Amino acid sequence: MSAIKWNLHITQSVFPSDHTIVLRESSIKKWKIPGSITLHYGSTRQTVSVASASRLDGIRMTEGLAAKLGLRSGASLRAVYRPKSRTLHIGPVIGVLLGSASQNQNRPFGNTTSFCVEMVEAGKLYGGFVFFFTPKQIDWRDKRIRGWSYNNGWYQTSFPMPEVVYNRLMSRKLEANPSVQHFIREVKSRYGTTTFNERYLDKIEVFTALRRDAEARVYLPHSRKYNGYATLKHMLANHRTVFLKPERGSLGKGIIKITRKPSGGYICHFSHLNNVTQKSAATTKEVLHLIAGRAKSSRFQIQQGLTLIRIGGRPVDFRALTHKGEKGKWGLTSIVGRIAGSNHFVSNLARGGTLSPAKEALSRAGLKAPTAVLQRLKKAALLVAQGVENQIPAQFGEFGVDLAVDTAGKVWLLEVNSKPAKNDSTPLSDQKIRPSVKRLIQYSRHLAGL
């Protein structure tokens, strides 16, 4: 039986008990719903009596029952009746796990607040209830979570354990915290909750995994784990330019570019927040000395440098955003070109990069047949997303796939991000609900069976 979308109406208690719901008479007849059923919402299972109304565009319940569920009027929920268990399943309940919240009632989640509002509104539009919580809000004794949701303003209340958890923890340290890992394991075993984007990915892990995938490995530049002088010497002997990238870096932080000069010797470029510094070295031994301090504090991946297409002398790469949708299959949500800022060799917006529609960027870079190259970029993004899922045992619902195009038009993989920053992957659009957010709700519905 397929699910339908219902609006929620809350009324003052006019029934003999709070445990009464009202459904449209035609829905009761269509689904053959008896007078007493189990209402399933998140981890809550509540026996309720069913009353009928001839004109009702959804489900009506009392203030008391709505408060128990953590619902307010205006919610839009998917609903399906399962006759074998006499259960009416409404929801899904989607909990978004965040790292922290502030006391600011207008912006409780800082720069992420507008995205959170968009998630709630997408739930209302496509069916699903979204709330937000931090690891500190989990109450195992009451089997509830005290979190936040939005309804013409932010409010805090107690919610049942969700059917789906969307992991938006942006700190590896917090994600690895034993209490967080305990929560993810326990809600899965106790309530069947599915967590997606459940963990960060490391660069070396991704490239190692994709080498095992026949369709994805064609996009991999030559790369390996940096293990000191022997690795450095080998890579510089085979490539005029190499990049050292922190295994767990993001936003272009800590990247080192090493280029062999035609006249001999090397130039090392070091990426900082606001600029790039450079130093010269006569030999690979001197290069090793220059990078030794950073290499001791972080694990690095060393990667073949590519002759990327450029616009105005600035390198260009592409961020493809892939999502699973309502059928649980990977799809391409958006792809944009990212032009590096002045004095930078990385294209991240945090480093002064700018966005451009992908086809426009390919045309401005002077590539022949930009439409064909764009199709190759799109294909690569989907094959990489599927390859990561095939090779890494974890649940993911979205990836930011960073790709590059060389001057011959060949597509290369730069990086895969399981926690794409929303400001860096936003399509160039003024739509109120972005396609990426729509797909997050649709995939959550798929996971919940709604």
Mean pLDDT of 247-272: 82
**Amino acid 346: pLDDT:** 53
For residue 303, what are the CA distances in angstroms to 187, 232, 236, 389, 420? Answer: 39, 10, 10, 23, 22
**Amino acid 242: pLDDT:** 92
Mean pLDDT of 91-111: 92
With a cut of 90, say whether residue 12 has pLDDT above it: no
> Which two structure tokens, joined as six digits, stand for 247?
């295994």
> Residue 142 — pLDDT band, cuts 50, 70, 90?
confident
* pLDDT tens per residue, range 263-286: 888 999 887 766 778 888 889 999
**Amino acid 281: pLDDT:** 87
All domains of the chain, ordered by start, with CATH? 4-90 (2.40.40.20), 93-196 (3.40.50), 203-220+308-418 (3.30.470.20), 223-304 (no CATH)
Nearest to 384 by CA among 322, 311, 342: 322
Nearest to 21 by CA among 6, 5, 3, 39: 39
**Amino acid 275: pLDDT:** 73
For residue 123, what are the CA distances in angstroms to 82, 284, 332? Answer: 22, 56, 21
Distance of CA 390 to the CA centre of its chain: 18
**Amino acid 250: pLDDT:** 62
* pLDDT tens per residue, range 297-344: 678 899 999 999 999 888 899 999 999 999 999 999 999 999 886 655
For residue 178, what are the CA distances in angstroms to 139, 173, 183, 413? Answer: 15, 10, 9, 33
> Residue 251 — pLDDT band, cuts 50, 70, 90?
low
Neighbour count for residue 385 (Cβ, 10 Å): 25
Mean pLDDT of 71-89: 93
Element (H, E) at 76: strand 76-82
Percent of the chain with pLDDT over 90: 64
**Amino acid 398: pLDDT:** 97
* pLDDT tens per residue, range 404-436: 999 999 999 999 999 987 654 444 455 589 999
With a cut of 80, say whether residue 294 has pLDDT above it: no
* pLDDT tens per residue, range 107-121: 999 888 999 999 999
With a cut of 90, say whether residue 178 has pLDDT above it: yes
**Amino acid 246: pLDDT:** 86
**Amino acid 323: pLDDT:** 97
List, as one string, the DSSP characters of 154-200. EEEEEEEPPSEEEE----HHHHT-HHHHHHHHHHHHHH--EEES-S-
> Which two structure tokens, joined as six digits, stand for 449?
């069976």
β partners of residue 243: 257, 303
Mean pLDDT of 215-240: 92
Average pLDDT, the chain: 89
With a cut of 70, say whether residue 249 has pLDDT above it: no
Burial call 427-449: b when 16+ CB within 10 Å, e when fewer: beeeeeebbbbbbbbbbbbbbbe
Mean pLDDT of 159-171: 95
Nearest to 107 by CA among 153, 75, 169, 165: 153
**Amino acid 347: pLDDT:** 46
User: Over the Cα atoms of the chain, what is R_g?
Assistant: 25
The C-alpha torsion from 294 through 295 and 299 to 301, rounded to 10°, is 100
* pLDDT tens per residue, range 38-51: 999 999 999 999 99
